[in-house]
Structure 1
């Protein structure tokens, strides 16, 4: 099993994909806005009317070329996005282009009319600013949004302070052209288009929010039944892939309490519940520390599965950790006058089927195969051989561990149905020194 992607890496990948999806949406909106403005412009300022006034004629030509350029920008980004060729740095390029179309349109208007620089806000193209800001909202990137606002504010300030100057400065009739009905129709059109873009942005944000809520709820519902360690797999490959399952080699650990039935027969119900809960907490803690997956609790018996990098060594570490922890717990119980606790632990390495089984009402992570049966058999052998732990040499060899340094001794091999040759075993006797996980050094027991 390959290493799982770090959560931060997953988030970055999702954010990049969301940014690319946003640019594809924006490319379509650019073409829509360019066509919409072109239509309104033709209705509001007819070419025949523009011919009667040189200023309007030049303004008509500037506006037409600007809209055509904006449409082509949208078309180009749409093609690149559709073919998967658009890159993250392109977001900054098109964000800059959005602002430059507005600022260049205002600059051309000032050059055309010769009005005072402070008159830039009287030109209809100034009303493209809300559209550009709406585009920035759809991107959902605060840095790109801040960049867009900064460029727009700086550009508008420079135009307002030091725009074009000519002998026509202050000519009232020129100013009146941009306060008449056709320019006002264009302003209304730009407000309407900005509103449409903002509605699109709101719908996109709502859709993303609802999808996140549904995904979080679905994952929360599933992880109620599935081991927490599968949460990343669930998000990465989805439930369907987990239900299809896979075959792979894993470490398997069975642990069982010796004489559990006899111990609990005389206990009051609340004591049984407290005892079992304490035991399961200790098993769960050892599994979590060694990144094992608890397949299931079966009364006092537990099956823990180890997948991924270092799985065999983690399986060995978990077994030794459990042995030491249960010994400490047993010592603390006897000091309180309670019955001691002893467990048997069987460990093996082999191929299993692993996956999620069940229906929508009840899902369960499970592993199946001869390797599981062998691990269970090794656990039962600990009773007959008076061992605390029995591990197959397959597991120890895969873990590249020195059996002797971990307290293991060689045992008689056993015959396993369906296997060529006997299965070599090693065990840790009940009176062997306790050893901490991941080290060969003995440790002294401490009350807990």
Structure 2
């Protein structure tokens, strides 16, 4: 019950603590906020001093005038704190004293009005300067920390209560109390209810602001946690998959998926087992990292999404997770450029890495498979199976790019027609119906299409 009330008032607590790097960034942002607060306060005291200087000085005491002294002291404190905020990260005790000092100086300034204008103490209770209390409280919301809002509100409420008690204590204070609202407004009389209303307003404004900031703070931390999760998750799966998982309207369950018309490409490094035997594990990992970095740049260039890594093999989709009207053409261009890369670049062990590609176009299902506790977001269907079978057939035909008739047909660029060589009809493993297959290479592609 207690947790439900707390969550209702203040919002849901983030489930995961933020990494230290994120907390450091938030702390840095709060330091910037403290600088902003300092500038606003400096502008306020300047405006207040200007108004005081321009206002007519009627019915004022010829003796000591506390207002300019209070304004001067407040200016010095504000300016000093502003300079320090640019040099150091102000510690909590400095911020606490700063909030108390701000409110205290404002209360002293208000208190001094009855001396300045030679009026009874109740005179200052009607000073419009009291409205500055709410400005000082709301300024603390810029730091995004409810503690200082509550501290400012508590200091202001206590300060105003002290001013009221001073009026009641001072000579003739009790005799000036009235219950008549008109008398209160048109004289120096005191209406206790009006002063209680001011204190309640201070407390309520501070409380509402603190709750609003705390709710926003918790929402912000949850949003940052989710953003970090998406960013970190996208290092293990594609950004598109991570976004689909984290932004789903409902929790993804096994079997959830959607049918799309897309192009699938499987890739595999020729002779990878032989290469692996000649390299130490660290060298092998370095080689694969270089290879995947180079090929990933090409895949991203043409709008493909790496849906799955398996050893040296990749499952790449076009128009499955990222919209692409010319998905078949994009897949072929990707395969051609990967082939060109592998022929021209030496990787860390000094050799070429020839890559075989199998491409097919058709209807697929994009979604999650597995159990409730362990899911894999992937693509499946007959189209995917055919693409997977075409890739190893390159070894049989001595080719590096094999595509189905569906892919060739869906290529809208007519210049692609001249680059295909029909290899015949094959019955791929798992199917009874023959599949027409075509091969190509980047040498056969003319006219600078890539």
Residue 209 (1) aligns with residue 220 (2): yes
Cα deviation 1:252-279 (Å, max 9, x = unaligned): 1111222222233233444433333332
Cα deviation 1:7-50 (Å, max 9, x = unaligned): xxxxxxxxxxxxxxxxxxxxxxxxxxxxxxxxxxxxxxxxxxxx
| Shift in Å, 1:342 | 2.2
| Shift in Å, 1:280 | 2.2
Residue 249 (1) aligns with residue 261 (2): yes
Q: TM-score normalised to the size of structure 1?
A: 0.53
Count of residues paired in the alignment? 284
Tell me: CA distance 1:173–1:264, structure 2 relative to 1, closer, same or farther (3 Å): closer
SS for the counterpart of 1:176 is: coil
Q: Which of residues 237, 241, 264 is equivalent to 1:226?
A: 237
Q: Are the counterparts in 1 of residues 287 and 349 from structure 2 also a CA contact under 8 Å?
A: no
| Shift in Å, 1:127 | 4.9
Q: Unaligned regions of 5+ residues in structure 2, if any?
A: 1-122, 145-182
| Shift in Å, 1:288 | 2.0
Tell me: CA distance 1:370–1:180, structure 2 relative to 1, closer, same or farther (3 Å): same
| Alpha-carbon distance in 2 for matches of 1:214, 1:279 | 32
SS for the counterpart of 1:325 is: helix
Cα deviation 1:139-190 (Å, max 9, x = unaligned): x9xxxxxxxxxxxxxxxxxxxxxxxxxxxxxx9982224x432322222222
Residue 304 (1) aligns with residue 316 (2): yes
| Alpha-carbon distance in 1 for matches of 2:367, 2:133 | 54
Tell me: CA distance 1:371–1:296, structure 2 relative to 1, closer, same or farther (3 Å): same
Q: Which of residues 309, 331, 344 is equivalent to 1:328?
A: 344
Q: Unaligned regions of 5+ residues in structure 1, if any?
A: 1-118, 141-170, 444-448
| Alpha-carbon distance in 2 for matches of 1:229, 1:389 | 26
Q: Which of residues 124, 130, 135 is equivalent to 2:134?
A: 130
Q: Which of residues 182, 193, 213 is equivalent to 2:204?
A: 193
SS for the counterpart of 1:295 is: strand
Residue 377 of structure 1 is matched in structure 2 by 389
| Alpha-carbon distance in 2 for matches of 1:358, 1:221 | 22
| Alpha-carbon distance in 2 for matches of 1:274, 1:187 | 69
Residue 11 of structure 2 is matched in structure 1 by none
CA RMSD of aligned residues (A): 4.0
Residue 441 of structure 1 is matched in structure 2 by 448
Residue 334 of structure 2 is matched in structure 1 by 318
| Shift in Å, 1:328 | 0.9
Residue 342 (1) aligns with residue 354 (2): yes
Alignment of 1:11-410 (within 5 A): 122=126, 127=131, 130=134, 174-177=186-189, 179-220=190-231, 222-237=233-248, 240-241=251-252, 244-307=256-319, 308-310=323-325, 311-329=327-345, 332=346, 338-357=350-369, 363-402=375-414, 404=416, 407-410=419-422
| Shift in Å, 1:293 | 1.9
| Shift in Å, 1:320 | 1.1
Alignment of 1:421-432 (within 5 A): 422-429=434-441
| Shift in Å, 1:366 | 1.7
Cα deviation 1:277-317 (Å, max 9, x = unaligned): 33222222222222322222222222111122232222122
| Alpha-carbon distance in 2 for matches of 1:301, 1:337 | 19
Deviates more, 1:192-201 or 1:357-366: 357-366
Q: Are the counterparts in 2 of residues 226 and 363 from structure 1 also a CA contact under 8 Å?
A: no
Deviates more, 1:280-289 or 1:404-413: 404-413
| Alpha-carbon distance in 1 for matches of 2:380, 2:262 | 11
| Shift in Å, 1:195 | 2.0
Q: Are the counterparts in 2 of residues 411 and 426 from structure 1 also a CA contact under 8 Å?
A: yes
Q: Are the counterparts in 2 of residues 323 and 434 from structure 1 also a CA contact under 8 Å?
A: no
SS for the counterpart of 1:213 is: helix
Q: Are the counterparts in 2 of residues 355 and 365 from structure 1 also a CA contact under 8 Å?
A: yes
Q: Are the counterparts in 1 of residues 230 and 243 from structure 2 also a CA contact under 8 Å?
A: no
Tell me: CA distance 1:203–1:261, structure 2 relative to 1, closer, same or farther (3 Å): closer
| Alpha-carbon distance in 1 for matches of 2:368, 2:126 | 65
| Alpha-carbon distance in 2 for matches of 1:195, 1:240 | 38
Q: TM-score normalised to the size of structure 2?
A: 0.53
Cα deviation 1:198-241 (Å, max 9, x = unaligned): 22222322232232233224434543543223233334325724
Tell me: CA distance 1:176–1:337, structure 2 relative to 1, closer, same or farther (3 Å): closer
| Alpha-carbon distance in 2 for matches of 1:181, 1:401 | 85
Q: Are the counterparts in 1 of residues 328 and 361 from structure 2 also a CA contact under 8 Å?
A: yes
Deviates more, 1:186-195 or 1:372-381: 186-195
